[in-house]
């Protein structure tokens, strides 16, 4: 079971205790099947519930990030953050013909805080209250094989993630994006600025801006945004959360350790070279 405290502030003071994430784990996460625009196939949207799906997601993120210069290649050919190994993170996948064509992760505020804390610590901390539950949208990637298919998959995942967030009691969604993508988040989902443009070390110091969406005040968001992501409710059984298993943590831990070792070994000049 997932543990029981509610703010990462308390979790950091008591690092042994896992935080409450208000998410009830389940043994499986049923998929949502949506007709794909190309008549001969379908896109299946689901919360990843096994090692195969998570590995497919992490490989797709790796391919996207390496191609875009946001990270250096590694021998595992996966991008796995320490937060991915916590029971407060959910990974969403869009499957097409059995292959992961899009993915994103929702990191619940917990014992490691949020990835955004590293760059926007004061801004994130200002949102934290004992009764507030924060989540960060991270590791978004999509296959470039078919741009039309990829765009539909991203929208489907964002819709599932948004409804999942409300279902499990998140109060704020946060995200760090490249400045040129900020307008899409603001127009499509109603995100608002949280912090100004800064260099983001986790993506080779590329520029990023922080945004947030207050899920407790959706009535203040544009009606078209709310309708796009919440207008057609997803059945509750499709929004169940399946935390990463101990076996999966052991499987993916070497990737996290490798990246940590590489970051510690490289001088600052080398880290900046990929920017």
What does the pLDDT read at residue 180? 92
What does the pLDDT read at residue 19? 34
> What confidence tens digit (pLDDT) does each residue in 157-210 have?
999 999 999 999 999 999 999 999 898 888 878 899 999 999 999 999 999 999
Determine which helix (DSSP H) or strand (DSSP E) holds 140, and give its type and residue range. strand 134-142
Q: In which domain, by residue range, is 249 found?
A: 8-273
146 pLDDT tier (thresholds 50, 70, 90):
low
DSSP notation for 79-100:
---GGGGSTTEEEEEEEETTEE
Question: Is the residue at 220 inside a domain?
Answer: yes
Mean residue pLDDT across the chain:
82
Mean pLDDT for the stretch of residues 48-61: 97
What does the pLDDT read at residue 27? 31
What does the pLDDT read at residue 267? 54
Question: Is the residue at 2 inside a domain?
Answer: no
Question: Is the residue at 146 inside a domain?
Answer: yes
- What are phi and psi for residue 207, nearest 5 degrees? -70, 150
Question: Is the residue at 264 inside a domain?
Answer: yes
What does the pLDDT read at residue 95? 93
What does the pLDDT read at residue 188? 79
- What are phi and psi for residue 2, nearest 5 degrees? -80, 150
> What confidence tens digit (pLDDT) does each residue in 247-260 have?
999 999 999 999 88
Question: Is the residue at 59 inside a domain?
Answer: yes
What does the pLDDT read at residue 87? 93
> What confidence tens digit (pLDDT) does each residue in 57-66 have?
999 999 999 9
pLDDT above 80 for 40: no
- CB-based contact 19:130 (threshold 8 Å): no
pLDDT above 50 for 36: no
Question: Is the residue at 3 inside a domain?
Answer: no
Mean pLDDT for the stretch of residues 107-116: 94
What does the pLDDT read at residue 20? 38
**Which residue from 26, 71, 29, 34 is spatially nearest to 54, judged by alpha carbons?**
29
Mean pLDDT for the stretch of residues 21-50: 59
| CATH number, domain containing residue 61 | 3.40.630.30
CB neighbour burial string for 185-196, b if at least 16 within 10 angstroms, e if fewer:
bbeebbbeebbe
Question: Is the residue at 28 inside a domain?
Answer: yes
Mean pLDDT for the stretch of residues 21-38: 43
As for how many domains the chain has, the answer is 1
Mean pLDDT for the stretch of residues 77-91: 96
pLDDT above 80 for 81: yes
- Tell me the whole-structure pTM to 2 decimals: 0.82
Q: Which residues pair with 106 in a beta bridge?
A: 90, 137
Mean pLDDT for the stretch of residues 204-218: 93
């Amino acid at each position: 079971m997932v543990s029981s405290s509610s703010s990462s502030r308390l979790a950091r003071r008591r690092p042994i205790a896992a935080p409450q994430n208000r998410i009830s784990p389940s043994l499986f996460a049923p998929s949502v099947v949506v007709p794909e625009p190309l008549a001969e196939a379908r896109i299946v949207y689901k919360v990843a519930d096994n090692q195969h799906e998570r590995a497919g997601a992490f490989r797709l993120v790796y391919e996207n990030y390496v191609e875009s210069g946001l990270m250096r290649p590694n021998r595992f050919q996966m991008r796995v953050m320490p937060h991915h190994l916590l029971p407060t993170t959910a990974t969403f996948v869009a499957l097409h013909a059995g292959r992961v064509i899009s993915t994103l992760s929702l990191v619940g505020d917990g014992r490691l805080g949020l990835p955004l804390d590293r760059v926007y610590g004061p801004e994130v901390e200002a949102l934290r209250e004992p009764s507030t539950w924060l989540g960060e949208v991270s590791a978004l990637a999509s296959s470039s094989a078919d741009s039309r298919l990829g765009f539909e998959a991203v929208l489907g995942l964002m819709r599932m993630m948004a409804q999942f967030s409300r279902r499990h009691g998140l109060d704020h969604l946060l995200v760090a994006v490249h400045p040129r993508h900020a307008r899409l988040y603001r127009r499509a989902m109603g995100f608002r600025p949280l912090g100004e443009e800064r260099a983001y070390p986790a993506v080779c110091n590329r520029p990023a801006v922080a945004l947030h969406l207050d899920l407790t005040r959706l009535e203040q968001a544009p009606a078209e945004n709310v309708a796009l992501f919440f207008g057609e409710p997803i059945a509750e059984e499709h929004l169940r959360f399946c935390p990463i298993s101990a076996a999966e943590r052991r499987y993916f831990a070497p990737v996290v350790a490798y990246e940590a070792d590489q970051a510690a070994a490289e001088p600052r000049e080398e880290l900046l070279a990929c920017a």
